[in-house]
Amino acid sequence: MTLTFADLTTMRVGGPVGRLHVPETTPQVLELLRQVTGDGDPLLVMGGGSNLVVGDDGWPGVVIKMASSEFDIDGELVRAAAGVVWDDVVDATVRAGLAGLEALSGIPGLVGGAPVQNVGAFGTVTSEVLESLSVFDRQTGQLERWTLDRCGFGSHRQSVFKRNDRWVVVDVTFRLRRSDQSRPIDYVDLARALEIEVGGTAAPAEVRAAVLALRRSRGMILDEHDHDTWSAGSFFVNPVLAEVPKRARDCPRYSDVRGTKLPAAWLIEQAGFRRGYGHDWGNGTVALSSRHALALTNRGGATTADVMKFAAHIRDGVEACFGIRIGPECDLINCSF
């Protein structure tokens, strides 16, 4: 049977996979990258496929699905290869008595994908705990050691790696703290779950357990039996505007280095698309998660074309209501809306 991106991504849509490689060590990753770069073949690097939607025609070129598994804890420094499962790293560091990653528990995907969109949750973002990365430059064929200043973090879910096939993240080093107390908890719902004041701390293992429980209640932990989790996470990015239109004056707002950031989930819900919306729209194969308005979910049998049609419907409804055009947060390959 032909392997498709529906088999490799968490939204479970997408057509045939070209030539798939699954390198299990970093030397294998580097050898492959050098070979593909030399041959000039189109390349798609992927991890867990949890932030990726590929078109129904698939990707005809080379696909490298990272599976490199080197992992090392040296004092407060933690180095993991791009193919290590993200949550395994979080779990191992919490068990080793290190604080820093606990709020990022339960995020799907692999280590290499984390800096690409500077993943974040419950008030922590990856760049706050990153020390350095090994990056393969496909233009020069060189492996380089990068510090944070080169990564282009700073704005919501941004980095120089995003939608840029020049650089491949090969491994990541985190600087954590040996401590029995977590980072300060600034996220209200998490503080409430832990029964502490906002800004207070708790044991990292307790924070991890509370985060996993909260995520599960929101359909943000992968579960093959739960269609609310058949998604690419947050499908739309929170828009950052120089000026907020009058029609959106009631929208909560946050300052961002580029302007004012608005929560896309609020815009979607206030435009009339409630959680769960979509079951009786179109052919009903795609709907908003019943627990999270930002997640477009595959209810079973969806194609990428169905997802794109639904995404355009939501985007246009938000634009008609507020005059604000929202765009994708996840990476779209050979598809658009």
Chain centre distance of CA 252: 23
CA distances to 75, 78, 124 from 93, rounded to whole Å, are: 11, 8, 15
Bridge partner list, 53? 332
Strand partners, 73: 78
Question: Closer CB to ligand FAD, residue 154 or residue 272?
Answer: 154
Q: CB-wise, 166 or 258, nearer to ligand FAD?
A: 166
Instruction: For residues 15 and 278, give the distance between their C-alpha atoms in angstroms, rounded to a whole number.
Output: 23
Min dist. Cβ of residue 285 to ligand FAD (A): 17
Out of 289, 290, 315, 329, pick the active-site residue: 329
Instruction: For residue 329, indicate whether it is catalytic.
Output: yes
> How many whole angstroms separate alpha carbon 226 and alpha carbon 206?
25
Please answer whether residues 233 and 219 qualify as being in contact, where contact means their C-beta atoms are separated by less than 8 angstroms: no
Q: What is the largest CA-CA distance in the chain?
A: 57
Q: How far is the CB of 178 from ligand FAD (least distance, A)?
A: 25
- CA proximity to 130, closest of 166, 108, 161: 161
Please say which residue, 83 or 322, places its beta carbon nearer to ligand FAD. 83
Least Å distance, CB 141 to ligand FAD, is 16
Residue 217 beta carbon to ligand FAD: minimum distance, rounded to whole angstroms: 13
Q: Which of 83, 122, 84 is nearest to 101 (CA)?
A: 122
**Residue 234 annotated to the active site:** yes
Distance separating alpha carbons of residues 131 and 127, to the nearest angstrom:
8
Nearest 5°: the CA angle 63, 156, 255 is 170
| 103 DSSP 8-state letter | G
**Closest distance to ligand FAD from the beta carbon of 298 (Å):** 11
Toward ligand FAD, which CB reaches closer, 14 or 204?
14
Catalytic residue among 138, 157, 208, 215: 157
Residue with the closest Cβ to ligand FAD?
47
**Residue 229 in contact with residue 223, Cβ under 8 Å?**
yes
Question: Distance between CA 6 and CA 21 in Å, rounded?
Answer: 17
Which residue among the candidates 50, 234, 289, 290 is catalytic per the annotation?
A: 234
As measured in angstroms, the least distance from the Cβ of 250 to ligand FAD is: 26
Nearer to ligand FAD, 7 or 197 (CB): 7
The span from the CA of 255 to the CA of 155, in Å, is 10
Contact positions toward ligand FAD, by CB under 6 A? 10, 45-52, 66, 82, 107-110, 112-114, 116-117, 119-121, 161, 168-169, 220, 222, 229, 231-233, 331
Contact 264, 236 (CB under 8 A): yes
Q: Report the residue number, 104 or 176, with the smaller CB distance to ligand FAD.
A: 104
Active-site residue set: 157, 234, 329
